[in-house]
A and B are shown apart, each in its own frame.
Chain A
Amino acid sequence: MHIPDGFLSGPVWLGLDALSVPAVGYVARLAQRDFEENHVPLLGVMGAFVFAAQMINFPVGAGTSAHLVGGALLAVLLGPAAASVVMTAILVIQAFVFQDGGVLALGANVANMALAGVLAGYLPYHLLGGGRLRKPAIFLGGALSVLASAALALAELSASRVAIPKGMLALSAGLFAINAVAEGAITVAVVSGIEALSPRLAPRRRAARDWAPGMLAATAMLLATVGALFASATPDAIENLTRPGGSAADWFERAAGVVIVFAACVLIARAFSRRRAA
């Protein structure tokens, strides 16, 4: 779900751009440490690979098909920092070359899919990917990454007071849930396929040594996602927040809420990457 320009209100797109630009700069520096400039071709080609893989349809029953989103898959295969950079590059190309997603809204789309989506896709794998629970962890990662991105996009749209009928919200929450299950299943199937084809390309994680911070982050992510979905499905509680009109102070509060959530995501990501580097 790529948000075009013109949908998000000033504070929302400005806040998310202000947050995404430094966050992407930071993630790019991390990725550069793991993959020196020599390996830029690998990340670029991986972006092209995800683009192309999105053209391959998966039958999901009832005559409909789904396609890969890719954030969780890249996080498992390349690590979270590189995956964020590749997903950001994909969003940039989609916005500028394919008119898919806005340019001012790029900050929001990057935050939803390249930062939060990749992080949510990576966390379960980081925690459980080493042991017997590897496949369930990858499945959970795929599902969570789609849910997190979708929930954040819906939250941003309603924070921008874009009218969405209640029935539509419930329907789209259901559709996102189906997509999430499909993404999890696709990610597991593709990782298994790559393992069978050439094991050296599918790195195996050792079990995480320290559980507490990861567990905390995963729980926070899960709560945020589920919370946002519930809030979108039963908008009575947030109706107050999204009512038309409102003073400058209200606007400031709404923007501040969104910024705080993303700041938390970025801080968690920082803590994680430091752990990885150590």
Chain B
Amino acid sequence: MHHVVLESWSRQNSALHARDPRVKIVLLAAYLAALGTAARMPALTTLCYAAPLAAAAGMARLPARALLLRTAVVLPFSATFAAFSMMAGDAGRGEALLAKSYLSAAAVLVVTATTPLPKLLWGFEALGFPRFLILVVQFLYRYLFVISGQAQHMRLAARCRGSASGRLGFRRAAGAIAVLFARSYARAEGIHDAMLARGAAGQIRLLAGARAGGRDFAFLAFGIAVIAAVRIWSL
């Protein structure tokens, strides 16, 4: 599965991997906001916005081709709307839609490819996002592959038993989801029991943690300066 790639990328070592997750989140927000408020994206502006991302990806030694390809998942959606804009005679707007959506997705990917998800979630919690939601996200991610694997097995088993279409196929798919639900529920109860057995006292701790040092503050200041410079230049 392709998201496993993200796991292996995010667990390497580089100057960017080592930065405090909070710093990366703040810089990501600043970058996205700068891009989100830009009106037009002529080629030169696009290049100026792409340059810091390319530098960051290079600094983290991320594989450029794989990164560019993975980001391309946003293109079908934005290309459709870009085509609408061009049909309406507004080519600049279509260009902006394509460039902004692609660069935004690339920026998010650079951050998630250099920060393991538990650390990233810790950063969000430290920045004041609701803890309960963060915990749910963390558990969701932890069991995503387990339950998806189960669903894939069920799909394969159903195909082995022969395909059904129409009303029967519909009812069978619904039955599969009902079984998946019951199994997921039982699994959740089992996890909860195991937690109680290990002495969980009702408080779940997020294991990751970080301490912002001088380098983190320097990186933050530098990043903000670069983003501000690009934004002001492209006004």
Contacts and interface: CB of A to CB of B under 8 A. Distances in A.
Nearest to A13: B36
B230 interface: no
A163 B203 CA distance: 49
B117 interface: yes
Contacts, number: 248
Nearest to A90: B140
28 contacts: A4-B77, A4-B104, A5-B101, A6-B35, A28-B133, A41-B139, A44-B139, A45-B139, A45-B147, A47-B136, A52-B184, A56-B176, A59-B165, A59-B166, A85-B133, A89-B137, A92-B137, A93-B141, A97-B3, A104-B104, A163-B85, A186-B170, A186-B174, A189-B174, A190-B174, A193-B178, A194-B178, A201-B185
Interface of B: 3, 6, 28, 32-33, 35-37, 70-71, 73-74, 77-78, 81, 84-85, 87-88, 90, 93, 96-97, 99-105, 108-109, 112, 117, 120, 130, 132-133, 135-144, 146-148, 150-152, 154-155, 165-166, 169-171, 173-182, 184-185, 187-189, 191-192, 195-196, 200, 202-204
Interface in A114-162: 162
Given A58-B169, A97-B117, A99-B109, A52 B151 contact: yes
B181 A194 contact: yes
**What are the 4 A-B residue pairs with the smallest beta carbon separation, nearest first?**
A44-B139, A6-B100, A193-B178, A189-B174
B140 A162 contact: no
Interface in A67-103: 68, 77, 85-86, 88-90, 92-93, 95-100, 102-103
Interface in A230-278: 244
A45 B132 contact: no
B147 A52 contact: yes
Q: DSSP class of B's interface residues: helix, strand, loop or mixed?
A: helix
A32 B3 CA distance: 30
A185 B35 contact: no
Contact of B132 (A31, A104, A168, A201): A31
A244 B219 CA distance: 39
B184 A28 contact: no
B181 A190 contact: yes
Contacts of A85: 132-133, 136
Contacts of B155: 55-56
A10 to B, nearest CB: 5
Contacts of B3: 97-98
Nearest to B81: A162
A26 to B, nearest CB: 9
Contact of A100 (B73, B90, B150): B73
Given A53-B151, A99-B109, A192 B140 contact: no
A102 B173 CA distance: 30
Contact of A44 (B112, B136, B148, B175): B136
Contact of A197 (B142, B182, B191): B182
A29 B132 contact: yes
A78 to B, nearest CB: 10
Contacts of A60: 170
Contacts of A104: 32-33, 36, 104
Contacts of B185: 42, 45-46, 201
